[in-house]
Structure 1
Amino acid sequence: MLPWKRVLRPLAALLLTASVAVVPAATTAQAAEATATSSSGWNDYSCKPSAAHPRPVVLVHGTFANSVDNWLGLAPYLKNRGYCVFSLDYGQLPGVPFFHALGPIDKSAEQLSAYVDKVLTATDAAEADLVGHSQGGMMPRYYVKFLGGAAKVNALVGIAPNNHGTTLAGLTNLLPYFPGAEDLLSTATPALAQQVAGSDFITRLNAGGDTVPGVRYTVIATRYDEVVTPYRSQFLNGPDVKNVLIQDLCAVDISEHAFLGLTDRIAFHEVANALDPARATPTTCASVIG
């Protein structure tokens, strides 16, 4: 094995967790069971939004995740609070089951666009709210900014989103020192290369400002994020932006990148506040029992 490949392999493995909800690999039987659970709790296309919650919520998973595993915590949480909740798979690569969001991010945004249209048609709603984890909190900004999503999205809530890319604690700075490494990463898993801080994709996404008028943005971050680094790069600048550091709400919350989106009920409570700011209640350490 070439020496640079010995370094690239672990680096690529770490990059696979950028914007990732890390979950055990599912067997076919487990996936079928999870899908059944999903269909009985969310992705119910007969659901009609209520007056209290007039917009459907579309959940957008992170890299190397999928529409079920990423949302086994948050989807029921929102569904039990009266929301019509939906989730999609995107960014699939041929021959790679279960682990998605690896394809080109601009193409993934096109998939999101089509899915939002499908949800709006099914629910007879004019707008949707989007909640995404990691890449799922960043990719919708491409849809909103370049694909007409601003007219169809009321709010975008990003949980540990890599809005300005990631340095992966400095490891991405090693890529130029290994000839061919960047090209290999871009060819095999385009979304991983696009999420590196300073990439052409990230530069284009943020050119001219982080936000688009008419959309409310919320970012929920943790100081213990080991995947999207530095963690403050997740925050957005612009009008109608609320940046939340989870430790400012509960200092003893030590959730890192993956668990912030998977199980953190303090983050879930802040998501609910972002979706319905008129009925927001203070998020504290006690929110874990709410």
Structure 2
Amino acid sequence: MLLRKTALVVSLVAAALFASAGAATAAPADPTPAPATPEAFAAAAAANPVIVVGGLSGIAVAYEPMAARLRADGYRTFIYQLPGLGLGDIPTSARAFATYVDQVRASTGAATVDVVAHSEGGLVSRYYLKRLGGTAAIGRYVSLGTPHYGTYVANIVAFLGLGSCAGVVACQQMTIGSAFLADLNAGDDTPGAVRYTTIRTLQDELVRPTGNAVVNDGATNVLIQAYCPLRVVGHLGLVLDGTAYTIVRGALVDGPVRPNCLAL
């Protein structure tokens, strides 16, 4: 019975993800951004390596479009798929992520890396920063649709009679009011000298309320529709959408928030 309930939860999440992907790709789109200038390309090649961190049930290939954009801009880019697709304990995933960060730093010779994290990946990365001493290894942190203060989508699983997230530990931890989130959000949301940016969208099906995708204490919190009111971007769309990528690109160079509302 537990196995069937768990499968149902994963199916519901997957269905929502595919629905948002369809909305994000309904119009013809060229996934390749405008070519970077030689100067910008050289600067990116010399910049921190970028780790794209996946979310719940997010296989690595789903983040290849984002990674391809970053590589096209000259960044040394890596994709981190959460252990067990992120279904397990978030602090445990964060400890595995800490090892991966060290491996990337060793292989590239970089003192610090930048992180672009989607959904649960943003919580894994934040736990690493706040509880595992990661601030010395990370220069910039960008989250995309991360339920920093929880989501009612996790709470509603219990409402539907499926128990406490049908036994999916990460889902339990992303429930509004969970002990995990209470600990993660106690005190300073943005420790260290890391530059924090969060990106969210009003059409996010999995982070409700969407205001829970922000962090406090000095982060740059960007709502796409505050700049581009007609832009429709779903949860998975945050890693596919051209406008969202222009915000990521700006955050990685410490630039002002200037989304391109027409970007493909």
1:211 deviates by 1.5
1:15 deviates by 6.5
2:216 and 2:200 map into 1 onto residues whose CA distance is 14
1:257 deviates by 1.0
Q: Residue 55 of structure 1 aligns with which residue?
A: 48
Large movers: runs of 4+ above 3 Å: 8-11, 13-18, 20-23, 49-53
**2:258 is aligned with what amino acid?**
P
SS of match in other structure, 2:47:
coil
2:43 and 2:118 map into 1 onto residues whose CA distance is 27
Residues 56 and 82, structure 2, Cα contact 8 Å, conserved in 1: no
Q: 1:162 to 1:123 in 2, by over 3 A?
A: same
Q: Residue 76 of structure 1 aligns with which residue?
A: 68
Q: Residue 258 of structure 2 aligns with which residue?
A: 282
**1:185 is aligned with what amino acid?**
A
1:119 and 1:139 map into 2 onto residues whose CA distance is 17
1:281 deviates by 7.4
SS of match in other structure, 2:86:
coil
Is 1:244 the counterpart of 2:190? The answer is no
1:169 deviates by 8.5
Q: 1:287 to 1:227 in 2, by over 3 A?
A: same
Q: 1:143 to 1:170 in 2, by over 3 A?
A: closer
Q: 1:9 to 1:118 in 2, by over 3 A?
A: closer
**Pairing partner for 1:218 from 192, 197, 202:** 197
1:216 and 1:83 map into 2 onto residues whose CA distance is 18
Please report the TM-score for the alignment, with normalisation by the length of structure 2.
0.82
Unpaired segments ≥5 residues, structure 2: 20-40
Q: Residue 95 of structure 1 aligns with which residue?
A: none
1:223 and 1:54 map into 2 onto residues whose CA distance is 32
Q: 1:173 to 1:238 in 2, by over 3 A?
A: farther
Residues 17 and 236, structure 2, Cα contact 8 Å, conserved in 1: yes
Query: Percent of aligned positions with the same letter in both sequences?
Result: 35
- Deviation per residue, 1:204-229 (Å, 9 max, x gap): 11011322121111111001111110
SS of match in other structure, 2:199:
strand
Q: How many residues align?
A: 242
1:142 and 1:209 map into 2 onto residues whose CA distance is 12
Q: Residue 163 of structure 2 aligns with which residue?
A: 181
- Deviation per residue, 1:113-158 (Å, 9 max, x gap): 0000000011111100000111112220000001110100011100
Q: How does 1:97-246 map to 2 (within 5 A)?
A: 100-168=85-153, 171-172=156-157, 174=159, 178=161, 181-182=163-164, 185-186=166-167, 189-239=168-218, 241-246=219-224
2:252 and 2:205 map into 1 onto residues whose CA distance is 27
Residues 151 and 209, structure 2, Cα contact 8 Å, conserved in 1: yes
SS of match in other structure, 2:176:
coil
- Deviation per residue, 1:250-272 (Å, 9 max, x gap): 111111111122x2010011100
Residues 157 and 219, structure 1, Cα contact 8 Å, conserved in 2: yes
1:14 and 1:167 map into 2 onto residues whose CA distance is 17
Residues 165 and 202, structure 1, Cα contact 8 Å, conserved in 2: yes
Residues 21 and 62, structure 1, Cα contact 8 Å, conserved in 2: no
2:82 and 2:135 map into 1 onto residues whose CA distance is 20
1:216 and 1:91 map into 2 onto residues whose CA distance is 26
Please report the TM-score for the alignment, with normalisation by the length of structure 1.
0.75
Residues 82 and 121, structure 2, Cα contact 8 Å, conserved in 1: no
- Deviation per residue, 1:174-209 (Å, 9 max, x gap): 27xx5x822x733xx211111111111111110113
Q: 1:9 to 1:101 in 2, by over 3 A?
A: closer
Residues 238 and 244, structure 2, Cα contact 8 Å, conserved in 1: yes
Residues 168 and 227, structure 1, Cα contact 8 Å, conserved in 2: yes
**2:50 is aligned with what amino acid?**
V
Q: How does 1:254-273 map to 2 (within 5 A)?
A: 254-261=232-239, 263-273=240-250
